[in-house]
Chain A
Amino acid sequence: MTQIEDLQGYRDGLARGELCCQLCEACGERQWPPRPACVHCRSFDLRWVVLPDSAALFTWTVVARTRLAGFEEKVPYAVGVLEYPEHELRLVGRLDTDPDRLEVGERFSWTVEPSVDGSPQPVWRPVAAGGAA
């Protein structure tokens, strides 16, 4: 019998073009990162739900040196922590924007695109001023 890995639902979401977190059926809370059980009530009854289109930049770094395969030629590039205050969730995301013009609180929205290894991954871009999302 095949073991279902704890992050399988996340991978499945990306394959559909969706960035998903877990929602606990027992207590109704969302959680990140994905875990085998709910950190709020310890229920195993979790399902995967799509995260809202946009989030606020909480902090970031600009990577100028790396030995990580596929990223050596992309430096400098920005990686940020994106925040959904309404759910008390924060997650790491690649920021496709000018790394010299980042600001805490700036809104970014995600899309799912092929990453350096071809796998579908979320990429975050600034939400145009006055735009939707």
Chain B
Amino acid sequence: MDADGGRACIVGIGQTELSRNSGRSITRLALEALLAAADDAGIDPVAIDGVVPYPDSVSAEDVIPVLGSPDVRFTAVAHMGGASSLAGLRLAALAVQSGQADYVAVFLARNASSVSRVDTRVRQLAGQAYRRELEYPHGMNTPAQWYALACRRHMHEFGTTREALGTVALTMRANAQRNPGAQMYGRELTMEQYLSAPVIADPYLKFDCCLETDGAAAVIVAREDRARDASGPVVRIEGIAEGHPDSADDMASRWDVFNTGLTKAAPRAFGLAGMAPSDVDIAFIYDCFTFEVIQQLEEAGFCGRGEGGPFVLDGSIAPDGSLPVNPHGGLLSEGHLTGMNHVVEAVRQLRRQVPDDRQVPGVETAAITGWGDMGDGALALLARA
């Protein structure tokens, strides 16, 4: 993704605490994360001339007055559910590379634990007429239920086991024990506890499901030549792409149920970066549910379709495995900032800014997946400059 002045880079990161009840407005949370990101980038917030918010939440207009730019030149919103964080990062990269803006802030803020829980949030996604008339009357209205359908089918076709799902949950929880900022810090999880937890939507048990979180995260994107004042090493966006599944507004009718947005986005991102899955040192997988980690490992190309269960059972995603995944604990155990917290942690890991017990040694490259809506997907490939 070369252009005059260098590649698009992440030059600043900011994140609030993650909690069950922030006690303040989402606009306030957004501004805290944005100002922290500007400080981390070593820039005056007035220099932020591009703003990419998360859909259906705090808008660009809500934060611009405090950021203070007299002339914001670029705003855009990607509508891809949980994949919107990466899709927004891509819009920011395109904007700075084309010279439409110099410093673009991408942010997400939510009080998803204390105010807007998932069954209300999904009423803003695509295909609402289908949800309302073809699913609600049959008792189906949450992502846990939609994705449980895909999980059950994967178990049937490929023999994916309950223990594989549990291994994902336990790996994320163990990772969170090395992250004092994680919502599940200090709360270890055993396989026995995992297996005996209540059913949410079979095959999903309680600990197969991600957390609900209050908090905000932001990153600032600029060309490499504008990254001089950043606090840490520059992190390049080597390749980033989005993808949309067939029948993007309806999952149940999709004929190839595992062919999702990430399936299409991943080869594009790897092609742009000139990388292969084997070149990735650490992966941040959008772990809204345990099975979605297995599915995305497959569709991103880290293992073959159907091989995701054995891949996680082998310990591949553990900190000492061949592909450490979500060292901060992920959406399952750090907190759910729709993947913006994955981007923030990826930058921290690439800058070597986390404590030694959490730092994956020798990290030069990171992959981040996005997953949202009815299977929209995105992949970002980052590297230390």
User: Is A115 part of the contact surface with B, judged by Cβ < 8 Å?
Assistant: yes
CB closest chain-A residue, reference B136: A68
Is the Cβ of A81 less than 8 Å from the Cβ of B149? yes
Q: A83–B295 Cα gap in the complex (Å)?
A: 22
B141 touches A64 (CB 8 A): no
Across-interface contacts of B140 in A (CB, < 8 A): 61, 63, 79, 92
**Are B153 and A59 in contact, CB atoms less than 8 angstroms apart?**
yes
Q: Which among A58, A117, A121 is the interface contact of B138 at CB below 8 angstroms?
A: A121
Q: Which residue on A lies nearest to B206, using beta carbons?
A: A65
Decide: A7 and B129 in contact? CB cutoff 8 A.
yes
Which of B135, B136, B138, B202 has its CB near the most chain A CB atoms (within 10 A)? B138
Q: A88: shortest Cβ distance to chain B, in Å?
A: 6
Q: Mark B103-146, 1 if CB is under 8 A from A, else 0.
A: 00000000000000001000000000110011111111110010
Please give me the 10 A-B residue pairs with the lowest Cβ-Cβ distance, nearest first. A61-B148, A62-B202, A64-B199, A59-B153, A94-B138, A71-B139, A121-B137, A59-B152, A92-B252, A104-B156
Binary per-residue interface labels of chain A (3-24) against chain B in the complex, 1 for a CB within 8 Å, 0 otherwise: 0011100110000000000000
Shortest CB–CB separation between residue A110 and chain B, in angstroms? 11
Render B23-48 as a binary contact track against A, CB cut-off 8 A, 1 for contact.
00000000000000000000000000
Q: Flag if B198 contacts A91 (CB, 8 Å).
A: no
Task: Tell me whether A119 is interfacial, beta carbon within 8 Å.
Answer: yes
Q: Smallest distance from the beta carbon of A9 to chain B beta carbons, Å?
A: 12
Residue of A nearest to B150 (CB): A59
Given A32-B253, A91-B134, A91-B253, A59–B149 Cβ distance below 8 Å? yes
Chain A residues lying within 8 Å of B247, measured Cβ to Cβ, are: 33
Does A48 count as interface, using CB distance less than 8 angstroms? no
Q: Is B3 an interface residue (CB 8 A)?
A: no
Q: Which of A43-81 contact B (CB under 8 A)?
A: 58-68, 71, 74, 76-77, 79, 81
Residues on A with beta carbons closer than 8 Å to the beta carbon of B129:
5-7
What total count of A-B pairs have CB within 8 Å?
A: 94
Number of interface residues of A (CB under 8 A): 39
A21 to B40, CA, bound (A): 55
Please indicate the chain B residues that have their CB under 8 angstroms from the CB of A92 in the complex.
134-135, 138, 140, 252
Q: Which listed residue, B134, B137, B145, B203, touches A115 by the CB 8 Å rule?
A: B137
Shortest beta-carbon distance, B246 to chain A, in Å?
A: 9
B133 x A7 contact (CB < 8 A) = yes
B200 adjacent to A65 (CB under 8 Å): yes
Dominant SS among interface residues on chain B: mixed
Contact size class for B?
A: 20 to 34
User: With a CB–CB cut-off of 8 A, which chain A residues contact B148?
Assistant: 61
Expressed in whole angstroms, the Cα–Cα distance for A116 and B152 within the complex equals 26
**Given the complex of chains A and B, what is the CA–CA distance between A99 and B156 in angstroms?**
16
Given contacts A33-B130, A64-B199, 4 further A-B contacts (CB under 8 A): A65-B199, A67-B119, A76-B202, A81-B149
**Residues of chain A contacted by B133 (CB below 8 angstroms):** 7, 10-11
Quick one: which of A6, A66, A99 contacts B141, CB cutoff 8 A? A66
CB within 8 Å of A: which B202-221 residues: 202-204
Closest to A122 in B: B138
Asked whether any CB of chain A lies closer than 8 Å to the CB of B344, the reply is no
Chain B 146-188 interface 0/1 with A at a Cβ cutoff of 8 Å (1 = within): 0011101100100000000000000000000000000000000
Instruction: Determine whether the beta carbon of A88 is less than 8 Å from that of B255.
Output: yes
Task: Please tell me if the beta carbons of B139 and A63 are within 8 angstroms of each other in the complex.
Answer: yes
The minimal Cβ–Cβ distance linking A101 to chain B, given in whole angstroms, is 13
Could you list some 22 contacts between A and B, CB below 8 A? A5-B129, A7-B133, A33-B247, A33-B250, A59-B149, A61-B140, A61-B149, A61-B202, A61-B203, A61-B204, A63-B145, A63-B201, A64-B200, A66-B139, A68-B141, A74-B139, A76-B202, A81-B149, A90-B254, A92-B134, A94-B139, A116-B137
